[in-house]
Amino acid sequence: MTYLDKLIAEHCPDGVPFKTLGEVGTFYGGLSGKSKEDFKDGNAKFITYMNVFSNISLRVDMPETVKIAPNEKQNTIQYGDVLFTGSSETPDECGMSSVLTVHTDEKLYLNSFCFGYRFNDPNLILPGFSKYLFRSEALRKQIKKTASGVTRFNVSKKKMESVIIPLPPLEVQSEIVRILDNFTELTAELTAELTAELTARQKQYEYYRNLLLTFDDAAETIMTDRQTDRQTDRQG
């Protein structure tokens, strides 16, 4: 039995609890009412679509800025927030996520083509866990189903509220983050070395990421049960 197995047995002997995003947090939009001129010589940090799309942990060292007037009402990104791309040319690339995993004193503003999600209880889930969880195969499978379109696909925030996530104890989350961070660091070290070894490590990382974040098939079972309940209610 691994240390992670022991933690799960100790802290959640009856299984890992699951909740929908709508039950444990709220969504918010990106910038509104901005023109092209507002993105020239700005006075505040601006998080681009590609920053969200390309990084599981949000990069805050980027040069993009936007003009924000004093007392202007715009949503700002907070530590632990999960950001999602709102649309893409393919459903497979919709709803790609990035998490603010570092504390910063700077106000960060999100582009209008993305949207954010904030947990009601900031101590419910570790930002380091979120960054892996929302890019896992199990979550991506659910998120892709929230997108619709023909030539361009858009994510429905209403449907996103029904996405189900596991909520293991923080001790379990921390151990999963430690394991996956080690894989990530090792992969980075191998980037300049043999391509074959790097590819093998990447596949190994993806395997363990999905294994560690699946928590059996409980999420799919819960989703099926809830859909059955809704159908029964409508028939009643």
**Phi, psi dihedrals of residue 53, rounded to the nearest 5°:** -65, -40
Looking at 59-63, 116-120, 138-142, 220-224, which range is the least confident one? 220-224
Q: Is the pTM of this model over 0.75?
A: yes
The answer on pLDDT for 235 being more than 80 is: no
Residue range 172-228, pLDDT digits in tens:
899 889 988 887 766 556 555 555 555 666 677 677 667 667 765 555 554 555 555
What is the number of domains present in the chain?
1
The answer on pLDDT for 78 being more than 60 is: yes
| Residue 227, pLDDT score | 55
Top pLDDT among 5 and 121 is at 121
> Encoding tokens for residue 81?
């927030």
Distance CA 56, CA 36 (A): 27
Residue range 121-163, pLDDT digits in tens:
999 999 999 999 999 988 999 999 999 998 899 999 999 999 9
Distance CA 201, CA 10 (A): 31
Q: Which domain holds residue 12?
A: 3-235
> Encoding tokens for residue 80?
């632990």
Distance CA 67, CA 44 (A): 6
**H helix or E strand, kind and range, residue 187:** helix 170-190
Cβ neighbours of 21 (radius 10 Å): 21
CATH number at residue 126: 3.90.220.20
Q: Is 84 helix (H, G, I), strand (E, B) or coil?
A: strand
Give bridge partners of residue 118 from the DSSP assignment. Answer: 26
Distance CA 57, CA 100 (A): 6
Distance CA 102, CA 15 (A): 30
Residue pair 210/133 in contact by the 8 Å Cβ criterion: no
**Phi, psi dihedrals of residue 206, rounded to the nearest 5°:** -65, -40
